[in-house]
Structure formats: structure tokens, C-alpha cells
Amino acid sequence: MSRESYQQELSALREGVVALSETVVDRLELALSSLATGETAAARRVVDGDGEINDRYLELEQKCIDLFALQQPVASDLRFVAASFKILTDLERVADLATNLAEYALEASREVFPEVDVQALGVSAIEMVELAVEAYTEADTAACFAIDEYDDSLDQRCAEASDAVVRHLIERETAMADDDTVQRLLDDASRLLLTIRDLERVGDHAVNVAARTLYMVENDDALIY
């Protein structure tokens, strides 16, 4: 387990992080499509698969701890292991959010809110995760800043979507008499608000990945809060 195999362990960690991110993105896409189609089997796969992601996450985290304890990485190696350690947490959280989305898909009655395009928000959030992991593998600092900037627009679109849901609710509620209908509408609306909030958070985690990548590549903490 000396320098040559140390290099192999570093590559194995990098590959493990990328492979985990690919699974996480798969789950996000599955959750998003089940929100659109109401296909419960796909949603269930996402919910049931979260345990496997947690296991892989813990395994990779242990790899980082082993590297710290046994190999004492320094300089760029140290920043790489430390950044990966943090990025793993963000990826695991994104997987949790994918599980949330899948759970909403299982519950939703799919009342139409024509003002809100959840799919478009979801596609943007997924794209951000993919770009952030690509920046990590390619050590692309320009992409890190671009992701941070792009997040502002996703935040903006999510805020607008939430406003639209609430406005829709207020307008519809006044015209309605039936208590059951009101309750169903309220349930759907809150679920939708949570969906929007979770997608917004996926974007935040993508920015975290980009921020740690920037630190890893250039020892620059500009994007870390």
C-alpha cells in the first residue's frame, strides 16, 4: 500500500465518486419522470434503492478516512480527498431528495397547475448536478463559477413557480364550496411547493460540489458560502 498503490487508491476514489453521481442522476431522472407519468413502479424503485446509495456513500466515506489515516495525503492530494469527502455528502443528499420526489409521485393525484413546469425545473437541476460532477472530474474551474451563476436563475424560477402555486390556490379557493375539493387542492399544492423546494435544493447541492471542486483545483474558497 505504498506510493504506487496510493495513486491507485486515489483513482479508485475518484471513480467511486463519479459512479455514485451517475446512479444519483439516474434516480433523479426516474423520480422526475414518475412525477410526470404517475408510473408507480419507477417511483418505488427510487424509494427502495436509497439504501443501496447510502451503503455506497458510507463505503466511499470510509475510503477517504482510510486515505487520511494511512496515507497522509498532502497538497493537491489532500485537497482532493477532503473535497471528495464533502462532495460525497452532497451527492447522498441529492439522492435523498430524489427519494422525496419519488414519494410525492406515489402520493400525487396530479391536479394540473398549468402555470408550473416542474419538469423544466427538474431537468435544469439534474443538468447542474451533471455539470458539477463533470467539473470535478475535469478539474474545470470556469465551470464551477458557471454553475454557481446558473443556480441564481434556478432559484429565481423556483421562487416564481412557488408564487404561481399560491396565487392559483388563492384564486381557486374563493370560487369553491366543497370542503373535500379544497382539501385535495391544498394537499396537491403543498406537495408541489415541496417538489419545487427540493428541486431548488438539488441545485444548491450541485453548487456545493462545484465549490469544493474549485477549492480542490485551485485552493480557492470563493464559492464556499
Partner 1 sequence: MSNALNESKTESSSESAGVTADVSTGTTTAGESDEQIREEWSNYHFDGPAKLSVEDLNVYYGTDHALKDVSMEIPEKSVTALIGPSGCGKSTFLRCLNRMNDRIKTARVEGSVELDETEIYDANANLVELRKRIGMVFQQPNPFPKSIRDNISYGPRKHGDIDTGLLARLLGRDDTEEESELVERSLKQAALWEEVSDRLDDNALGLSGGQQQRLCIARCLAVDPEVILMDEPASALDPIATSKIEDLVEELSKQYTVVIVTHNMQQAARISDQTAVFLTGGELVEYDDTDKIFENPESQRVEDYITGKFG
Among 4-12, 107-115, 133-141, 181-189, the segment contacting partner 1 (CB under 8 A): 4-12
Candidate residues 50, 66, 204, 218; the one interacting with partner 1 per rule CB under 8 A = 66
Q: Does 65 bind partner 1 (CB under 8 A)?
A: yes
- The nearer residue to partner 1, 6 or 145, going by C-beta atoms, is 6
Candidate residues 19, 58, 70, 222; the one interacting with partner 1 per rule CB under 8 A = 70
Separation CA 184–CA 172 (nearest Å):
12
- DSSP H or E run through 20: helix 3-37
**The three cell numbers locating residue 131:** 455539470
Whether the Cβ atoms of residue 165 and residue 113 lie closer than 8 Å to each other: yes
Q: Does 1 bind partner 1 (CB under 8 A)?
A: yes
Whether the Cβ atoms of residue 180 and residue 109 lie closer than 8 Å to each other: no
- The nearer residue to partner 1, 76 or 153, going by C-beta atoms, is 76
- Measured from the CB of residue 68, what is the shortest distance to partner 1 in angstroms? 9
- Measured from the CB of residue 133, what is the shortest distance to partner 1 in angstroms? 24
CB atoms within 10 A of CB 71: 18
Candidate residues 10, 20, 60, 71; the one interacting with partner 1 per rule CB under 8 A = 71
Distances in Å between the Cα of 122 and the Cα atoms of 3, 98, 166 are: 43, 10, 20
Among 61-69, 124-132, 170-178, 198-206, the segment contacting partner 1 (CB under 8 A): 61-69
- Measured from the CB of residue 6, what is the shortest distance to partner 1 in angstroms? 7
Q: Does 89 bind partner 1 (CB under 8 A)?
A: no
Q: Does 58 bind partner 1 (CB under 8 A)?
A: no
- Measured from the CB of residue 47, what is the shortest distance to partner 1 in angstroms? 29
Q: Does 3 bind partner 1 (CB under 8 A)?
A: yes
Which residues of the shown chain bind partner 1 in the complex (CB under 8 A)? 1-6, 65-66, 69-72
